[in-house]
Every structure is written in C-alpha cells, then in structure tokens.
Amino acid sequence: MMALNRHRLKHLATQGTLGAKTTQMLLTHTDQLLSVILIGNNLLNTIIPVLTTSIALHTFGHDNVVLSIATGIVAFLIIVFAEITPKIVGATFPEKIALPASLLIAPMMRIARPLVWFVNLFATGILRLLHINTKGGRDQRLSTEELRTIVLESGSFMPTKHRSILLNLFDLENISVDDVMIPRRRIEALDFDAPFEQILHQLETCYHNKLIVYQGDIDRVLGVLHVRKTLAALHNQELERETLRELLTEPYFVPTGTPVFQQLQYFQESRQRTALVVNEYGELEGLVTPEDIIEELIGEFTTSIPRSASSRGGWDDNGECIVTGGMPLRELNRWLQLTLPTDGPKTLNGLILEMLEEIPEGDVCVRIGEVKLEVLRSDDQAIRTVKIFRPATRTGTKLKKAARD
C-alpha cells in the first residue's frame, strides 16, 4: 500500500481499474489503514509463538532446550515468510497485490473500527505529546524540479521529442523576452526617410511580411507595416509617403525582462503578433513574436533571414562550424546541440567578451565548458565571426542538458 505511486493510482482509478478507487480511499485514511494492518499482523505474530510454545510443552514437556529451539525456529520462519519475503514482493509488485488486497482490507476496517478507534486514541495522544503533525506530511504536490526529474527518467515510456518539449516548457518559467527576442542589430526595419525607390526595393525583396518602420533612427519607431497589404496598394494606386504612413499600425512595446509566459498571454489578449522590446530609457532592444516563444518549446519551424551558406549545414566533416558572433546562445545551443551557458550574456559575442574581458585584436582560441571556440574576425566594436569545434564526447546526460537549453 505504501509503495504505490499515488499519481499512477489516481490514473488507474479514473480508468475504472478494479480495486483502484478502494485503494485510493484507504490511503486517504492512512492512520486507520495502518492500524488495521498492524493490529492483524501483530496479533498473528503473537499468537503463532504462543501456540508453538504450547505444542512444544505438551509434546516434549518442560525442556528448556526444546523451548529455545522451537522459539528460534518460529522466529526465523516469521521473519523470513511473514516479514521479509512478503514485504519485498509487495514493494516490487505494489499494484498487483495492493489493489486486490484493498477489497479485503476495506470491510476489515469497517468491522474493526471500534478497536482501531481505541488503539488510535493512545497513538494520537502520544503524537500530540511529541508535537508531531501528521497532516503536514500528506501533501503530495510535486515541485517543478521533481517533475523535471520524472520527465528525464521517463526513458522509453515517452518519445524523445515529447520529453524535450516538456523540459523546454519547464525552462520557460525562468526566461524572459530578452532570451528569445531578435536583437536590435538583426531587425529588418524600414527607414521612412530613405529614398522612395530604396523603400520600394526593400518592400519587394524583404524576408518578412511585417516590417518595423522608423524615422531617421531605429529608436524613433513610427509603426509596423504590413508588406503584403502595401504591395497590393502599390498595384492599385500610386504609393506615396503619406499613403505609406496611413498603412502603418500602432507599434506594440513591452519592457525588457518580461517573462515569456506572461508575454505569450499578452499576445493572446491584445491580438498582437509583433512586440518591440524597449529598455528603461525607451531605447529599442529587440523584437519578439509568438513564434519566437513557441520555437523555444518545439524548435525552429518559421522562416527567417537565411544564415550564411557555411552555417546552414551545421557541423562539417571536420566537426567544425562557422557562425556569426551576434548569434543568440539559446538558438546556437538548440541548433548545434551545445551546452553553452545562457544565464549571462545572450549572444556568442557577449559570452566570449565576458570571458576575455576585452575585444581580441587577432585570432584567439577559448574553451567554455566542453566547447572550443576560435575567433576568426573581429573589429573595434564586436566579434564578428567564430569557428566552433564539436565537443569530443557526447553522452546521454549532455544531450539532455542540451535539450533543456
């Protein structure tokens, strides 16, 4: 009874398994259940030696040696056949034994209720004298880390992809929009003050259906432009700057540090698909969409600006990969199955600079955890290109950690 998995028992009860609901009911009254089982167990364990002693005295007389041997044999048989062996079997196959046994124990509890009440009267008094609160130990709720452990240990019971999604779901509680947003430098935006021919060319060749429109400086956002509607208007009439301004929709701003779960709810309530992340000074830090958050759960599935040809294929035959320094660490971990830390800087450039504490002037190699990195190109502002070497050993545990990142 005590070895049963309460969550599995609840599932069996909802499935209508024989004895599951009865067992569930018995376990809600642990004090009465233990009292019935222990009273019966101890009564039998007491009666058997008494009967054995009486038989030995009747058969062999008052022989101390015979009494000692009989007592030792009975004690040995009780320990082996009435205690250790059945308890091991019960702990190994709790469902097969507890569910049928509950159908016998339930009526026994009703019959023995007066005796159980009398015994528990003394037991409860002793617990109160010792200031032991038995109600506090019945809380069966699991913490997030305990649930994570259950998912990790699910093994073959759960497909790998499903397990990865659940682990990523737990991690969403600890990340904010800063971790999933498209950084400021990678935002495809339209300058309203640019020559009109350049604006038209950008509209026809852009990678996204919505563009951020700014005036002069990207911190001065005018609104969000729906590219498809704009091109349709271009075919129907002559497009002018004022017409372009009329097509803009109000920008939607969110502060940095907003939890992604909360932001996903905001998207749902406001019917927005694009949010601009701004810092405490009102400066644009990045852009986030519902797809960016969902990709943290199930991996990349949307179309974005293509990566360079060298990085699209991942690891080459030599176990190397060349990426840009501005690549987000979470995306890099998910793409190459790495375990680079994500609790500090958000990009590969920031992580290397935090470690070196300066911008390298030439080629520099660093090792972060198990990952070896080589800076290929940098300038006065940031590291531009980095070569990553695939870790030599990859165990199952590391793959699980990479899946969480």
Determine the Cα–Cα distance for residues 305 and 82; give it in Å rounded to an integer.
71
pLDDT tens digits, 279-312:
998 899 999 999 888 888 887 665 444 444 344 4
CA–CA separation, 31 and 229 (whole Å):
70
User: What pTM did the predictor assign?
Assistant: 0.59
Residue 223, helix vs strand vs coil = strand
Domains of the chain listed by start with CATH number? 6-141 (no CATH), 175-298 (3.10.580.10), 309-404 (3.30.465.10)
d(C-alpha 99, C-alpha 94), whole Å? 8
- Which residues, at least 6 apart from 76, have a Cβ–Cβ distance to it below 8 Å? none
Q: What does the pLDDT read at residue 287?
A: 93
Distance of CA 107 to the CA centre of its chain: 43
Q: Where are the alpha helices (H) located in 206-259, listed in sequence order?
A: 227-236, 241-246
Closest by CA to 105, choosing from 30, 155, 188, is 30
Quickly tell me which residue has 């009292």 as its tokens.
35
**Phi-psi region at 16: left, alpha or beta (left = phi > 0; alpha = psi -120 to 50):** left
* Gyration radius of the chain over CA positions: 35
pLDDT at position 244 is 83
Position 278 scores a pLDDT of: 93
DSSP-based three-state secondary structure for 339: coil
Burial of 309 (0-12, 13-18, 19+ CB in 10 A): exposed
Ranges of residues in the chain whose predicted pLDDT is under 50: 303-312, 394-405
Reduced to 3 states (helix: H, G, I; strand: E, B; else coil), residue 139 is: coil
pLDDT at 253: 93
What is the pLDDT, as a whole number, of residue 398?
A: 42
